[in-house]
C-alpha cells in the first residue's frame, strides 16, 4: 500500500553551520575550494546583516581582486541576491529593546508566536488563524528567523508585506544574535519538481505557478499540455502508478480503495472538454497604490487554459461505493447529512498538511455535471504538474476545487476544512482588507463572503500581444483575437471588441469547434474580428506618426451577465473572480509592413514579485493570424537565417532585419 510518506517530500532539514567556521574557510580558500555553497551563504549573511557595500569591503583584501572558495567576490554577490535583500530591510529602531534569541525561542506555540527578520523581533501571535496557508505553517517557523523560510517561499519578500509586519515589531536582536539567527537553511521541498516549458511566465517558483504567453492561447483550440497554466499550492509529489491508491469514504458510502488499474478497467471511460481558470487569475490587475494583495500568486491574465480530459465519472465511482447517486440526482433521495464531496491530494507541506477542496454533492452526482476522476489530458497521461496519475475535474468550477494528485474522496455534511477552502478563495466585501480584518481571523460578516465555486464571465485579447509594435504601413484595419469563457456551463453568447478603449464596439466572430449543450458549455469560445481603422488613424499613419491602440473586449453569457468596465465595484482582498475589461496597448508603426509584429520582451513582466516575473525564453517577434476560421491555425514560425529573421505566415514570408528588432523608435507616440 502506498503511504503518504512514499509520495510526499521529506520534512525539511535545518542544516546549521557556524559563521566562525565559514569565515575561517573564506579567509583560506585553499582549505576548502570545493564548498562554494558555504562561501555563498557567508556572503549572503554579511549582505543581509550589514549591506552590500560594507560586506564587499570586508571580503575584499588589499589586492584588487580576490577569490573566496574559488569564486571572486563579484560572483559571490551575484549569487547572494543582493538586489532582493536591500529594498526590504526593516528600518533601524534604536527605541526598541534588545531581545535575545533564547527569549525568542521560548515564544513558539499557539499562545505566543515570535519571529525574527533581519535583526528585528516581531510578535505575530494575533496572526495564528489569519495566515492563508494555515496555522501549522506559522508554528513551523515560530521562535526562529523568517528569512531562511522566505528564501524558499520568496513571494513573502515584498515591500508591503515587510511594511505590514513592521507594525508588530517589539524589539531588536543584538548584532551577534542577528548572525546566529541566520545560521541555518530551510530544506527545499521543490528540488524534484518537473521541468517547465520556457514559455510559461513564473509568477512564483516555489510552489511553481506559471501562465503561458497570451498570444499562444489562440494557436490551437486545445491548449498544449506543456503550455497549460500551472497552479501548484505545494511541491509536486512523485507517485509510482503501480502503488497508487484512491480512497473513497464518508457518509452514505462503504469505504473502498481503488488502484489506477481499477479505475481504468472497472468503469466506463468518458471524455470532457473544459476550460480551467484559477480563481485568482488577473490578480495583478487589482494591485495599485491604494490596494495591495497579501496572497500569491500575482497572475497577469493567463491562468486560463482548455483541455480534453479523459477518465471516469465521479458519480459512477460513488455509486460503486453504495451512494444512491441516481436517487439524489432526481431529488427522490435527500440525505440531510450529505452536502459536499471533499477532495484531498497526495501533495503535502512541511507540516504534513495536504491540499484539499470540495464541491457540492449535486455537482458530483449530476449525470449532466460531467465531474470526472481524470487520468488523461489531451489524449496523454496526466503530466506531473497537472495531477499525475489522477485528478478531479469539476467543469465550470474554479481551478482550486479540482484537486490534483487525488488521494481521498470524502462524502460529507461539511465543506473541506482546509485553509484553501475556508480562507484563501472567498469573495469579501470591498471594505474588508487584509490589514484590518483578514489578518485577525475571523473577519466580520464571514457568512457574506461566499466560497468560490462557479466562475464569472471572462474574456481577454491575446493578439496583438500586450505592449507590442505592429506594422502600420498602408494599414486600413487591424485583426484582434482572444478567448472568452463563463463558469457554470453558461454559454458565451457574444464578445464585443474595441480599439479605442471601449468608446465604440464591434461584435466579434465566435469560434468553437465542439458542440456543447445548454448549461454544459464547459469549454471556452475563441473570438476574432478585423476592425477597419478610422480615417483619422489612417491619416496619422500616412503622415508617418505612430498610433497607439487601446484594445479591449467584453463578453456576455447566456444569463446576460456582462464583464464590468472597472475593478472598483468588486475589489476584494483575496483578489479572486477578477473579470473587468482587460486593456491591451499596441502601437502601430507606419514604417513597418502589416505582417510585422514585435513582441515586447517585458510585456508580461510585472513588479512586486521577487521570484519569477519574467520568461526564461525571450522572443523578439511573435505572430498572430487574421483568419476568423482558424484555417492556418495561427502557426507563425520564427527561424534564424543569417542576419535576418523570417516570419512565415501561410505560404508567404516577410523578412525583418535584426536591427529592426532591437531599435528603439524615436517617433513620438500619439495616443488615440
CA distance readout (Å), 670 to 405, 547, 585, 586: 51, 5, 12, 12
The C-alpha angle with vertex 264 and arms to 259 and 266, in degrees rounded to 5, equals: 85
Pairing of strands 340-348, 304-313: unpaired
Q: What is the helix (H) or strand (E) element at residue 480, kind and residue range?
A: strand 477-485
Backbone angles phi, psi at 614, to 5 degrees: -155, 155
Place of cell 475563441: 526
Cell triple for residue 416?
Answer: 473541506
- Nearest to 221, CA basis, from 637, 511, 493, 485: 511
Place of cell 523578412: 655
Determine the Cα–Cα distance for residues 504 and 179; give it in Å rounded to an integer. 61
Q: What is the helix (H) or strand (E) element at residue 20, kind and residue range?
A: helix 19-27
Per the CB < 8 A criterion, the answer to whether 184 and 171 are in contact is no
Catalytic residue among 231, 282, 391, 397: 231
Determine the Cα–Cα distance for residues 483 and 281; give it in Å rounded to an integer. 14
462 is catalytic: no
231 is catalytic: yes
Determine the Cα–Cα distance for residues 393 and 199; give it in Å rounded to an integer. 25
DSSP letter (8 states) at residue 237:
P
Catalytic residue among 278, 321, 403, 462: 278
Determine the Cα–Cα distance for residues 76 and 69; give it in Å rounded to an integer. 10
355 is catalytic: no
Determine the Cα–Cα distance for residues 403 and 393; give it in Å rounded to an integer. 8
Q: Which value, to the nearest 10 degrees, does the dihedral of the CA atoms of residues 238, 239, 240, 244 take? A: 170
Per the CB < 8 A criterion, the answer to whether 344 and 392 are in contact is no
Pairing of strands 468-471, 372-377: unpaired
Ramachandran quadrant class, 508 (left: phi over 0; alpha: psi -120 to 50; beta: rest): beta
End-to-end CA distance of the chain: give it in Å, rounded.
65
Backbone angles phi, psi at 184, to 5 degrees: -155, 160
The C-alpha angle with vertex 203 and arms to 193 and 501, in degrees rounded to 5, equals: 150
Task: Tell me if residue 391 falls in helix, strand or coil.
Answer: strand
Determine the Cα–Cα distance for residues 36 and 70; give it in Å rounded to an integer. 7
156 is catalytic: yes
131 is catalytic: yes
Per the CB < 8 A criterion, the answer to whether 248 and 318 are in contact is yes
Task: Tell me if residue 470 falls in helix, strand or coil.
Answer: strand
- Nearest to 588, CA basis, from 579, 601, 580, 597: 597
Determine the Cα–Cα distance for residues 176 and 650; give it in Å rounded to an integer. 67
Catalytic residue among 244, 346, 388, 425: 425
Hey, which bits of 168-299 come out as E strands? 169-172, 200-205, 208-212, 230-231, 245-250, 256-259, 269-277
What is the secondary structure of 21-67 as a DSSP string? HHHHHHH-GGG-TT-HHHHHHHHHHHHHHH-HHHHHHHH--SSS--E
Per the CB < 8 A criterion, the answer to whether 468 and 512 are in contact is no
Per the CB < 8 A criterion, the answer to whether 526 and 481 are in contact is yes
- Nearest to 146, CA basis, from 188, 169, 170, 114: 114
- Nearest to 306, CA basis, from 216, 202, 416: 216
What is the set of active-site residues? 131, 156, 231, 278, 425
Amino acid at each position: 500500500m502506498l503511504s503518504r510518506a512514499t509520495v510526499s517530500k521529506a520534512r525539511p532539514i535545518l542544516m546549521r553551520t557556524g559563521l566562525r567556521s565559514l569565515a575561517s574557510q573564506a579567509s583560506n580558500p585553499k582549505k576548502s575550494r570545493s564548498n562554494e555553497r558555504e562561501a555563498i551563504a557567508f556572503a549572503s549573511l554579511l549582505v543581509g546583516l550589514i549591506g552590500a557595500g560594507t560586506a564587499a569591503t570586508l571580503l575584499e583584501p588589499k589586492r584588487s581582486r580576490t577569490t573566496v572558495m574559488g569564486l571572486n567576490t563579484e560572483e559571490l554577490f551575484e549569487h547572494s541576491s543582493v538586489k532582493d535583500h536591500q529594498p526590504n530591510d526593516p528600518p533601524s529602531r534604536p527605541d526598541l529593546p534588545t531581545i535575545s534569541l533564547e527569549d525568542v525561542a521560548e515564544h513558539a506555540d499557539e499562545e505566543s508566536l515570535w519571529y525574527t527578520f533581519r535583526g528585528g523581533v516581531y510578535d505575530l501571535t494575533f496572526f495564528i488563524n489569519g495566515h492563508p496557508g494555515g496555522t501549522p505553517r506559522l508554528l513551523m517557523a515560530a521562535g526562529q528567523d523568517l528569512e531562511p523560510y522566505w528564501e524558499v517561499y520568496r513571494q513573502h519578500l515584498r515591500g508591503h508585506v515587510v511594511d505590514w509586519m513592521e507594525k508588530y515589531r517589539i524589539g531588536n536582536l543584538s548584532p551577534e544574535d542577528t548572525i546566529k539567527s541566520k545560521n541555518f537553511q530551510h530544506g527545499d521541498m521543490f528540488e524534484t519538481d518537473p521541468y517547465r516549458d520556457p514559455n510559461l511566465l513564473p509568477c512564483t517558483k516555489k510552489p511553481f505557478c506559471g501562465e503561458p504567453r497570451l498570444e499562444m492561447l489562440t494557436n490551437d483550440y486545445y491548449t498544449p499540455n506543456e503550455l497549460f497554466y500551472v497552479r501548484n499550492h505545494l511541491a509536486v509529489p512523485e507517485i509510482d502508478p503501480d502503488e497508487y491508491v484512491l480512497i473513497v469514504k464518508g457518509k452514505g458510502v462503504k469505504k473502498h480503495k481503488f488502484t489506477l488499474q481499477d479505475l481504468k478497467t472497472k468503469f466506463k471511460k468518458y471524455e470532457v472538454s473544459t476550460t480551467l481558470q484559477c480563481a485568482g487569475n488577473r490578480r495583478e490587475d487589482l494591485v495599485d497604490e491604494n490596494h495591495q494583495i497579501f496572497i500569491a500568486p500575482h497572475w497577469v491574465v493567463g491562468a486560463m487554459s482548455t483541455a480534453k480530459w479523459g477518465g471516469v465519472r465521479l458519480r459512477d465511482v460513488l455509486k460503486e461505493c453504495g451512494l444512491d447517486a441516481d436517487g439524489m440526482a432526481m431529488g427522490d433521495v435527500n440525505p440531510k447529512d450529505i452536502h459536499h464531496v471533499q477532495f484531498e491530494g497526495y501533495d503535502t507541506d512541511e507540516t504534513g498538511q495536504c491540499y484539499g477542496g470540495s464541491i457540492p454533492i449535486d455537482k458530483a452526482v449530476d449525470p449532466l455535471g460531467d465531474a470526472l476522476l481524470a487520468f488523461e489530458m489531451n489524449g496523454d497521461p496526466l503530466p506531473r504538474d497537472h495531477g499525475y496519475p489522477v485528478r478531479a475535474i469539476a467543469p465550470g468550477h474554479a481551478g482550486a476545487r479540482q484537486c490534483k494528485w487525488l488521494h481521498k474522496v470524502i462524502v460529507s455534511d461539511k465543506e473541506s476544512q482546509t485553509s484553501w477552502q475556508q480562507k484563501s478563495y472567498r469573495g469579501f466585501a470591498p471594505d474588508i482588507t487584509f490589514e484590518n480584518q483578514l489578518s485577525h481571523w475571523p473577519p466580520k460578516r464571514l457568512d457574506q463572503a461566499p466560497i468560490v465555486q462557479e466562475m464569472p464571465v471572462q474574456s481577454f485579447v491575446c493578439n496583438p500581444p500586450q505592449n507590442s509594435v505592429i506594422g502600420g504601413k498602408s494599414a486600413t484595419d487591424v485583426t484582434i483575437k482572444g478567448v472568452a469563457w463563463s463558469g457554470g456551463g453558461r454559454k458565451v453568447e457574444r464578445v464585443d471588441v474595441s480599439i479605442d478603449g471601449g468608446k465604440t464596439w464591434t461584435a466579434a466572430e465566435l469560434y468553437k469547434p465542439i458542440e456543447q449543450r445548454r448549461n454544459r458549455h464547459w469549454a471556452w469560445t475563441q473570438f476574432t474580428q478585423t476592425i477597419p481603422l478610422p480615417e483619422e488613424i489612417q491619416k496619422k499613419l500616412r503622415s508617418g506618426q505612430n498610433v497607439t491602440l487601446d484594445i479591449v473586449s467584453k463578453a456576455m453569457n447566456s444569463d446576460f451577465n456582462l464583464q464590468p468596465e472597472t475593478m472598483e465595484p468588486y475589489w476584494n482582498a483575496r483578489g479572486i473572480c477578477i473579470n473587468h475589461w482587460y486593456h491591451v496597448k499596441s502601437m502601430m508603426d507606419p514604417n513597418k509592413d502589416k505582417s510585422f509584429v514585435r513582441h515586447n520582451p517585458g510585456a508580461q513582466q510585472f513588479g512586486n514579485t521577487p521570484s519569477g516575473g519574467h520568461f526564461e525564453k525571450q522572443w523578439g517577434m511573435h505572430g498572430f493570424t487574421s483568419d476568423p476560421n482558424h484555417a492556418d491555425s495561427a502557426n507563425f514560425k520564427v527561424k534564424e537565417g543569417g542576419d535576418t529573421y523570417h516570419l512565415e505566415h501561410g505560404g508567404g514570408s516577410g523578412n525583418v532585419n535584426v536591427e529592426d528588432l532591437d531599435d528603439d523608435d524615436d517617433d513620438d507616440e500619439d495616443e488615440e
